């Protein structure tokens, strides 16, 4: 049984194969209507149950479109409208959904819940974001980086702002592909220590700094995300601490001339990123958002043993 709770559930070769598959499939359906099924219809007759305990636009639509394009279908369960929201356990929900669907995607708060879901499911479970990590997003980010002609080994990635779930998965990816991540965060907002240690032990360079310019200096890719993730307290103190890490034109000027800007979205324009950067030529955020579909298709094919 293959679950995809973190990138490390697959090895570097498997992630590289997912990326190659995503690129091929994306190319093969260029200019097709978005709902048209891929010629080989590899997930025909398969149904994905998607459980959302937090809001979503991209994850929800990209997984639904991914299943359609692979010839299958998806069912969305918002926890507020399900028995999960009234106290049915994750374990029992996992048992029931395993009898009714071929795979489960879960977006939730505590990563332990995703773990529990996978422990009790008889079908693959995919992490559609937890407070700890967001691996599906990072498959799309890697795809976007490669499509823009950059190689992953030795790639210099700068992260600015909050040391959150998205950063943890970037750090994990750096461990798989031996990239270099320079993290510019205020004191107290560092990423998960376990993810950093694991990536370093695999040969990645993970450097933390409180100096935004130092983080961005010479970067190939500059990445940021909301300063306040879903479920976090929106405190004035946190916003003030984050202010020096805003990605604006002055900061981008310290990255390489051909540096890419990435953001998983939704963006808070004027907070973590300015309009001038997110709407600039360097910004690949719309490719990145579209790539959620192509990346999720490969994740789905991988959990079903097709990659």
> Would you say 56 or 98 has its CB closer to ligand NVA?
56
Q: Choose one: 176-184, 192-200, 222-230, 238-246; the region binding ligand NVA (CB under 6 A).
A: 222-230
Indicate whether 225 belongs to the interface with ligand NVA (CB under 6 A). Answer: yes
73, containing H or E segment: strand 73-78
Indicate whether 58 belongs to the interface with ligand CP (CB under 6 A). Answer: yes
- The Cβ-side half-sphere exposure at 25, using a 13 Å CA radius, reads 28
In angstroms, what is the minimal distance from the CB of 54 to ligand NVA?
A: 7
Between CA 159 and CA 80 the distance in angstroms is: 34
> Would you say 58 or 297 has its CB closer to ligand CP?
58
Indicate whether 166 belongs to the interface with ligand NVA (CB under 6 A). Answer: yes
Indicate whether 3 belongs to the interface with ligand CP (CB under 6 A). Answer: no
Indicate whether 291 belongs to the interface with ligand NVA (CB under 6 A). Answer: no
91 binds, among ligand NVA, ligand CP, none (CB under 5 to 8 A by kind): none
Indicate whether 23 belongs to the interface with ligand CP (CB under 6 A). Answer: no
Residue 127 makes CB contacts below 8 A (sequence gap 6+) with 4, 5, 6, 105, 106, 111, 114, 133, 134, 135, 136
Is 107 an annotated catalytic residue? Answer: yes
Instruction: Choose the catalytic residue: 137, 156, 246, 296.
Output: 137
Indicate whether 59 belongs to the interface with ligand CP (CB under 6 A). Answer: yes
Count the site residues for ligand CP by CB under 6 A.
Answer: 8
Q: Choose one: 53-61, 156-164, 210-218, 244-252; the region binding ligand CP (CB under 6 A).
A: 53-61
Is 264 an annotated catalytic residue? Answer: yes
Indicate whether 57 belongs to the interface with ligand CP (CB under 6 A). Answer: yes
Q: Choose one: 54-62, 79-87, 189-197, 270-278; the region binding ligand CP (CB under 6 A).
A: 54-62
In angstroms, what is the minimal distance from the CB of 77 to ligand CP?
A: 15
Indicate whether 98 belongs to the interface with ligand NVA (CB under 6 A). Answer: no
Is 134 an annotated catalytic residue? Answer: yes
260, containing H or E segment: strand 260-263
Between CA 48 and CA 73 the distance in angstroms is: 6
Question: What does 197-227 look like in DSSP terms, one character per residue?
Answer: HHHHHTT-EEEEES-HHHHHTT-SEEEE--S
Between CA 249 and CA 228 the distance in angstroms is: 22
Query: What's the CA angle centered on 12, arms 9 and 16, to 5 degrees?
Result: 110
- Paired tokens of 220: 């190939």
Between CA 82 and CA 218 the distance in angstroms is: 48
Q: Is 237 exposed, middle or buried (0-12, 13-18, 19+ CB in 10 A)?
A: exposed
Instruction: Choose the catalytic residue: 3, 25, 134, 182.
Output: 134
Is 207 an annotated catalytic residue? Answer: no
Distance set, CA 189 to CA 8, 201, 206, 223, 261 (Å): 23, 22, 15, 16, 21
Q: Choose one: 55-63, 65-73, 88-96, 214-222; the region binding ligand CP (CB under 6 A).
A: 55-63
Active site residues: 107, 134, 137, 225, 264, 292
**Residue ranges binding ligand CP (CB under 6 A):** 56-59, 129, 137, 264-265
């Amino acid at each position: 049984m293959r679950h995809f709770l973190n990138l490390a559930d697959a090895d570097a070769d498997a992630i590289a194969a997912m990326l190659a598959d995503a690129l091929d499939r994306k190319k093969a359906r260029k200019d097709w209507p978005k709902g048209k099924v891929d010629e080989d219809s590899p997930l025909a007759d398969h149904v994905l149950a998607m459980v959302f305990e937090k809001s979503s636009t991209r994850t929800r639509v990209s997984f639904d479109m991914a299943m359609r394009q692979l010839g299958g279908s998806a069912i969305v369960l918002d926890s507020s409208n399900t028995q999960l929201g009234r106290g049915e356990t994750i374990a029992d929900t996992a048992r029931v959904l395993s009898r009714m669907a071929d795979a489960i995607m879960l977006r939730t708060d505590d990563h332990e819940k995703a773990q529990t879901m996978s422990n009790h499911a008889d079908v693959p479970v995919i992490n559609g974001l937890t407070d700890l990590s967001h691996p599906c997003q990072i498959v799309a980010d890697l795809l976007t980086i490669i499509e823009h002609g950059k190689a992953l080994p030795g790639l210099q990635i700068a992260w600015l702002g909050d040391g959150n779930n998205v950063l943890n998965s970037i750090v994990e990816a750096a461990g798989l592909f031996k990239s270099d991540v320079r993290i510019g965060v205020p004191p107290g907002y560092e990423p998960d220590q376990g993810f950093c240690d694991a990536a370093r032990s695999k040969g990645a360079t993970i450097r933390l700094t409180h100096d935004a310019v130092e983080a961005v200096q010479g970067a190939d890719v500059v990445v940021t995300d909301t300063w306040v993730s879903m479920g976090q307290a929106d405190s004035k103190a946190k916003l003030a601490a984050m202010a020096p890490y805003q990605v604006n034109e002055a900061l981008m000027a310290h990255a390489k001339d051909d540096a890419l800007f990435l953001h998983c979205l939704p963006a808070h324009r004027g907070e973590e990123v300015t309009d001038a950067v997110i709407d600039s030529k360097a910004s690949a955020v719309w490719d990145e958002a579209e790539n959620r579909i192509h990346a999720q298709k490969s994740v789905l094919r991988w959990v079903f043993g097709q990659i």
